[in-house]
Structure 1
Amino acid sequence: MKQYIIRRLLQMIPTMIGISIIVFAISAMVPGDYITAQANPNMTKEKAEELRHIYGYDKPEYQRYFIWAGNMLQGNMGDSLQHKAPVTKVISTYVWNSFIIAFVSLILSWVIAVFTGIFSAKFQYSLFDRIVTLVVFLCMSLPSFFIGLLFIKLFALDWKLFPVAGMTTAGSTATGWDYIKDVANHMFLPTLVLTMMSTGGLTRYFRTGMLEVIRQDYIRTARAKGLKERTVIFKHALRNALLPAITLLGFELPALFGGAIILERVFAWPGIGQVYLGSINMRDYPFMLGFMIFLSVLTLLGNLLSDVLYGLADPRIRLK
Structure 2
Amino acid sequence: MKQYIIRRLLQMIPTMIGISIIVFAISAMVPGDYITARQNPNMTKEKAAELRSIYGLDKPEYQRYFIWVGNMVKGNMGDSLVHKKLVTSVVKDYVWNSFIIAFASLILSWLIAMLTGIFSAKFQYSLFDKIVTLLVFICMSLPSFFIGLLLIKIFALQFNIFPVGGMTTAGLKATGWAYIKDVAYHSFLPVTVLTMLSTGSLTRYFRTSMLEVIRQDYIRTARAKGLKERTVIFKHAFRNAMIPAITLLGFELPALFSGAMIMEQIFVWPGVGQVYLNSINMRDYPFMLGFTIFLALLTLLGNLLSDVLYGMADPRIRLK
- Displacement of 1:248 in angstroms is 2.3
Q: For 2:235 and 2:63, locate their aligned partners in 1 and report how far apart those are by CA, in whole Å.
A: 57
Match of 2:172 in 1: 172
What one-letter code is carried by the residue in structure 1 that aligns with 2:83? H
Q: For 2:23 and 2:271, locate their aligned partners in 1 and report how far apart those are by CA, in whole Å.
A: 22
Match of 1:192 in 2: 192
Summarize the alignment of residues 36-115 of structure 1 with structure 2, pairs less than 5 Å apart: 36-115=36-115
Contact 1:210–1:238 (Cα < 8 Å) also in 2: yes
- Displacement of 1:227 in angstroms is 2.0
- Displacement of 1:152 in angstroms is 0.6
TM-superposition CA deviations, 1:171-205 (whole Å, max 9, x none): 11111111111111000000011001000000000
Contact 2:164–2:267 (Cα < 8 Å) also in 1: yes
Aligned pairs, number? 320
Q: Which runs of 5+ in 1 are unaligned?
A: none
Q: For 1:48 and 1:9, locate their aligned partners in 2 and report how far apart those are by CA, in whole Å.
A: 43
TM-superposition CA deviations, 1:45-99 (whole Å, max 9, x none): 0110111111111111111101000000000000000000100000011000000
What one-letter code is carried by the residue in structure 2 that aligns with 1:269? W
Summarize the alignment of residues 1-320 of structure 1 with structure 2, pairs less than 5 Å apart: 1-320=1-320
The percentage of aligned residue pairs carrying the same residue is 83
Which segment drifts farther, 119-128 or 244-253? 244-253
TM-score (norm 2): 0.98
Q: For 2:318 and 2:223, locate their aligned partners in 1 and report how far apart those are by CA, in whole Å.
A: 28
Partner SS, residue 170 of structure 2: coil
Contact 1:250–1:305 (Cα < 8 Å) also in 2: yes
Q: For 2:101 and 2:234, locate their aligned partners in 1 and report how far apart those are by CA, in whole Å.
A: 28
What one-letter code is carried by the residue in structure 1 that aligns with 2:31? P
TM-score (norm 1): 0.98
Contact 2:247–2:309 (Cα < 8 Å) also in 1: no
Contact 1:222–1:232 (Cα < 8 Å) also in 2: yes
TM-superposition CA deviations, 1:26-48 (whole Å, max 9, x none): 00010000000001011000110
Q: For 1:164 and 1:71, locate their aligned partners in 2 and report how far apart those are by CA, in whole Å.
A: 41
- Displacement of 1:272 in angstroms is 0.4
Contact 1:243–1:310 (Cα < 8 Å) also in 2: yes
Contact 2:163–2:186 (Cα < 8 Å) also in 1: yes
- Displacement of 1:165 in angstroms is 0.3
Q: For 1:194 and 1:53, locate their aligned partners in 2 and report how far apart those are by CA, in whole Å.
A: 43
Contact 1:239–1:314 (Cα < 8 Å) also in 2: no
TM-superposition CA deviations, 1:114-141 (whole Å, max 9, x none): 0100000000000000000011111111
What one-letter code is carried by the residue in structure 2 that aligns with 1:182? D
What one-letter code is carried by the residue in structure 2 that aligns with 1:195? T
- Displacement of 1:243 in angstroms is 3.0
Which segment drifts farther, 308-317 or 38-47? 308-317
- Displacement of 1:2 in angstroms is 1.1
TM-superposition CA deviations, 1:259-283 (whole Å, max 9, x none): 0100000000000000001001100
Contact 2:219–2:237 (Cα < 8 Å) also in 1: yes
Contact 1:240–1:313 (Cα < 8 Å) also in 2: no
Which segment drifts farther, 90-99 or 222-231? 222-231
Q: For 1:188 and 1:89, locate their aligned partners in 2 and report how far apart those are by CA, in whole Å.
A: 27
Contact 2:166–2:270 (Cα < 8 Å) also in 1: yes
Contact 2:244–2:310 (Cα < 8 Å) also in 1: no
Partner SS, residue 79 of structure 1: coil
What one-letter code is carried by the residue in structure 2 that aligns with 1:163? P
Q: For 1:80 and 1:43, locate their aligned partners in 2 and report how far apart those are by CA, in whole Å.
A: 21
Q: For 2:19 and 2:228, locate their aligned partners in 1 and report how far apart those are by CA, in whole Å.
A: 50
What one-letter code is carried by the residue in structure 1 that aligns with 2:150? L
- Displacement of 1:235 in angstroms is 2.0
- Displacement of 1:3 in angstroms is 1.1
Contact 1:77–1:86 (Cα < 8 Å) also in 2: yes
Which segment drifts farther, 8-17 or 226-235? 226-235
